[in-house]
Amino acid sequence: MRTRRLSLTSNQFDWLAVSLYFLLVLLGWLNIYAAVYDDELGASIFDFSINSGRQLIWISTSILIILVISIVDFRFYDSFAFIVLGVILLMLVSVLIFGSEVKGSKSWFGIGNFGIQPSEFAKFATALALAKFLSQPTIKFEKISTQLMSLGIIAVPAALILLQGDTGTAMVFACFIIVLYREGLSPVFFMIGFAFVLLFILTLLVNKLVLIIGLLTLGLLAAALSGRNIKKIGVVIVSTVFMFGFVQSVDFIMNKVLKPHQQKRVMQLIDPNADPLGAGWQVTQSKIAIGSGGLFGKGYLQGTQTKFDFVPDQSTDNIFCTVGEEHGWFGGLILIAAFLALLLRITQLAERQKSKFARVYGYGVASILFFHFAFNIAMTIGLFPVIGIPLPFFSYGGSSLWAFTILLFIFLKLDAHRMQIFTRS
């Protein structure tokens, strides 16, 4: 017996996805330079003493990463998915012991003037492991045990990252619910999640006694509409009790679980004018910068909010402010369109996969990128609390660019071999 491989594709990366990747990386690099540009110093975009020059190093090394991914056999990612996650989990534990603390999070390994953030790589590792688990022939997703195991694969790295103090990155792992939904998870879980988020916000806005009376009224109404169906009445009673318990726990979550700066960010979202010179400063300045750009912006390197450092972290988490100020509504629209095009293309590629492993991983890629894209922009315009996550391929940072590059190009490698089959002869 011997194995004969039949290749039915050109084994090349999807040109549209690759083009959109390099477009976003290029635009990001140019805007990083705009965010740190000082016309008095007149530093070149290639100056390695500023972020744009350092980002060029990360871009160059990312191209090397792409070349390595193109060389490695596509079956490696399936075969070693659990091992890759194991290595990353070990790094997440190690950084808690040996890591350096940056902005309140102990999530970095310091290497000279550079740093590596393992939590960024945990995203693609989790996507690989989840795809490997769900693609096993003996796994049936409709089983509760399978769903719990899937949630466990997601929760372990998220919990370790939460221990590092990096709440924003830990929240990204919630995006894998989209993957599970594609594989058959009931939409009821989305409804429950939305209900508890809404209840959390209402608890902060409404008098607690009024809210409890309202919940009790809704519970009695739902029970009445259930007729004599004991099962439905039981569900209503259990749900109402859980909601009562959750309302009572909101104060504990706010005061004991969330850190002071996180509490301020949540309250700032509830009331944007509560602390305009404190917790609300970043969002206020972000909105001023974006709004000042008007329809077509002030012009490249002409952003006044940028030049005078009104917006914190403008080359990293808040880089969309530079786009809005210098290129206006039209520039922001082009950037959003490019991201949406990439997300749509990844989803299309995921749906055409011949293997479940590649499809699940593809949806993992799309979900992670969507979460970062949507919530990064939402937090700059005040629609979501500031949680400190980068805009994929666009924000300054080596760890994030490397991780997003690996995330995307592993999938493009799998897609390039989607029609490759093996026969016994």
DSSP states along 27-88: HHHHHHHHHH--TTT---TT-TTSHHHHHHHHHHHHHHHHHHHHHS-THHHHHTHHHHHHHH
pLDDT, residue 1, reads 36
Q: What is the mean pLDDT of residues 56-70?
A: 96
Rounded distance between C-alpha atoms, residue 79 and residue 132, angstroms = 8
Q: What is the mean pLDDT of residues 90-116?
A: 82
Cα-Cα end-to-end distance for the chain: 6
Range 162-173 burial, b when 16+ CB lie within 10 A, else e: bebbbbbbbbbb
Contact in structure between 320 and 374 (CB atoms under 8 Å): no
Rounded distance between C-alpha atoms, residue 380 and residue 140, angstroms = 41
Q: Indicate if the alpha-carbon torsion angle 280, 285, 287, 288 is positive or negative.
A: positive
Nearest to 118 by CA among 157, 156, 69: 157
Q: What is the mean pLDDT of residues 248-264?
A: 75
Please give the backbone phi and psi of residue 110, each rounded to the nearest 5 degrees, phi first.
-80, 125
Q: Which residue has the tokens 């619910």?
A: 177
Q: How confident is the model at residue 232 (pLDDT cuts 50, 70, 90)?
A: low
53 versus 387: which is more confidently predicted?
53
Q: What is the mean pLDDT of residues 394-409?
A: 95
Q: What is the mean pLDDT of residues 345-358?
A: 94
Q: pLDDT above 70 covers what percent of the chain?
A: 89
Q: What is the mean pLDDT of residues 278-294?
A: 79
Contact in structure between 139 and 146 (CB atoms under 8 Å): yes
Q: Which residue has the tokens 């390595």?
A: 68
Instruction: Quote the Cα angle for 341-170-143, to 5°.
Output: 85
Residues facing residue 110 across a β-bridge: 115
Total-model pTM: 0.87
R_g over Cα of the chain: 24
Q: What is the mean pLDDT of residues 309-319?
A: 80
Could you tell me the CA-to-CA distances from 283 to 166, 268, 319, 354, 381 in Å, in that order?
19, 9, 13, 44, 7
Q: What is the DSSP letter of 99?
A: P
Rounded distance between C-alpha atoms, residue 282 and residue 288, angstroms = 10
Instruction: Quote the Cα angle for 129-133-136, to 5°.
Output: 140
pLDDT, residue 109, reads 84
pLDDT, residue 225, reads 75
Q: How confident is the model at residue 27 (pLDDT cuts 50, 70, 90)?
A: very high
3 versus 80: which is more confidently predicted?
80
Rounded distance between C-alpha atoms, residue 297 and residue 306, angstroms = 13
Asked which of 8-22, 31-45, 230-244, 381-395 is least confident by mean pLDDT, the reply is 230-244
pLDDT, residue 175, reads 93
Q: Does residue 104 register a pLDDT over 90?
A: no
Q: Does residue 7 register a pLDDT over 80?
A: no
pLDDT, residue 59, reads 97
Looking at the chain, how many residues does it have?
A: 425
Mean pLDDT value across the chain: 85
Nearest to 418 by CA among 357, 345, 367: 357
Could you tell me the CA-to-CA distances from 221 to 216, 225, 236, 237, 268 in Å, in that order?
9, 6, 10, 11, 34
Q: How confident is the model at residue 316 (pLDDT cuts 50, 70, 90)?
A: confident
Helical packing angle, 356-380 and 319-351, nearest 10°:
160
